[in-house]
A and B are shown apart, each in its own frame.
Chain A
Amino acid sequence: MTLASTKADPASGASAPVAVSLRKVGVTYAMGRPVLEDISFDVREGEFLSIVGPSGCGKTTLLRMLAGLLRPTVGEALFDGQPIMAPSRERAIVFQDYTNALLPWRTVSGNVALALEKTMPVKAERDARVAQLVEKMGLSHAADRFPTQLSGGMQQRVQIARCLSQEPRIMLMDEPFGALDAMTRQTLQDELMALAAERRTTTVFITHDLEEAIYLGDRVIVLSANPGRIAQTIEVELPRPRHQLTTREDPRFLAHRHHLFGLLQGH
């Protein structure tokens, strides 16, 4: 918590320390096919960065690299100035396929507790923390249910709660709302923004949905496909808190949308 004072507002993000830094990163899979090429960008602490691109642009590969699940073939991926070599509890990832990412034999509470069993060995203490997180994600009424008994939106909430329980420095989200219906998606978008703002958690959010990228992000990086490269980076200076109706009707929002839409169509 001592770090809180050094973390700047997202609004004054340019002055905040750099959390993640990619330096001319490229990833090539075994067959020699390049997936990502010459990717360089920084993510500042507390920033909400959206990455958007067509399928096959290597978005997921990029996120897995940030998580430490794979290493760049060339270039450097740094977290706190140190090369990312392996997964760490400081970098939590929320997968799109929540059904596969949850433990089906554990209840909602049990799934959230999984991340805490190591760091909070005292059960009473851990249970209290789990209950708090479950409540935070609006799952209290379902705490003792199994994932197969929940809707997609609720399962994704469980996964987010599990990630929060890690108290990560950075949240990596891989199209987390891609499989949800429109209503649920909007609700979760707003909850996620509120959480990120409240905790000042650095967030990298992958999506193929342009509007979602603009609506959530302080900044949007657009990737082009085959191989994935940075096509453009835009700053989103829309005021926060954002609102599903007014923000999406804001002329600046629409301008970004037009611009990025044209950019993605061009490829």
Chain B
Amino acid sequence: MKRLLNLLPPLAFAGALLLIWHVATDLRLVSPVFLPTPARAFGDLAARFADGTIWEPLGATVQRMIFGWFFASLVGIALGAAIGLTPLARDLLEPTLEFVRPLPASAMIPVAILFFGLSENMAVSVIAFGSIWPVLMSSIYGFGAVRVRLQEVSALLGLSRVEFLSKIAIPSAMPDILAGMRSGLAVSLILAVVTEMQASLPGLGRDIFLAQRSFRSGELYAGLVMLGLLGVLINHGLQIAENRLLRWRPQRS
């Protein structure tokens, strides 16, 4: 009951925004070519669900995003562990990473197209390139912050390098890894849409782009709403996973 009551103010705020949107479009304060009424935007989205035409582009975008994010997370955690735990790897890799990191992922699209063509691999590699940074940076921090005391406990119990990693370092860095993966997933959604627009790959991004080109503003905003919903859904799912994995942490209230 309390939780439901807590939901009221944010819902009211969102409702008020929708109302303003509705009034502004209904009174023709903004041309419907640029901004449809909320009813039309949501109606178009509902229609695409009803006739099933949403699933293919939605699936393509999600799949691309997840693949890119998954690779980024895998490589990011592995590199982060190496850099966070071994001074040699840090000295060796960090200067190069500092150079590569500020490069905008979208600037890598032409390079990726050269290597992979206008393909799925191109999109996935660009997404992975862009979304690796949050995971990598927070993994470096997380593995670097493994308590000295626990390293000593590990040595005293005669744990092997692998046991130290699996039983101590990874669980210890897990909160940071998960936080990084969450930011990484947001970036991967952005890049999935950008690559689709750039390379005309099937997906929500291309649909939005094409809708804009042909002045179908209802469809355009339907796409945006869909992306927003996707973001909320993903974030919520990760939050649940995080709460389960980090059950040992004192509850934040």
Give the B-binding residues of A (Cβ under 8 A). 67-69, 86-89, 91-93, 95, 97, 100-101, 103-106, 114-115, 117-118, 146, 148-149, 166
Contact = CB atoms under 8 A, between A and B. Distances in A.
Contact of B248 (A68, A100, A105, A117): A105
Closest 7 CB pairs of A and B: A100-B149, A146-B248, A105-B248, A87-B156, A105-B171, A87-B155, A148-B250
Nearest to A69: B152
Contact of B158 (A89, A93, A103): A89
Nearest to A89: B158
20 contacts: A68-B156, A69-B155, A69-B156, A89-B156, A89-B157, A93-B152, A93-B156, A95-B149, A97-B149, A100-B149, A101-B153, A103-B150, A103-B171, A105-B172, A117-B167, A118-B163, A146-B248, A148-B249, A148-B250, A149-B250
Contacts, number: 57
A87 B174 contact: no
B122 to A, nearest CB: 39
Nearest to A146: B248
B168 interface: yes
Interface residues of B, number: 21
B236 interface: no
Nearest to A147: B248
A50 B171 CA distance: 36
A93 to B, nearest CB: 6
A68 B147 CA distance: 19
A96 to B, nearest CB: 10
B157 A115 contact: yes
Contacts of B156: 67-69, 87, 89, 91-93
A114 B157 contact: yes
Interface centre among A97, A100, A149 (most CB of B within 10 A): A100
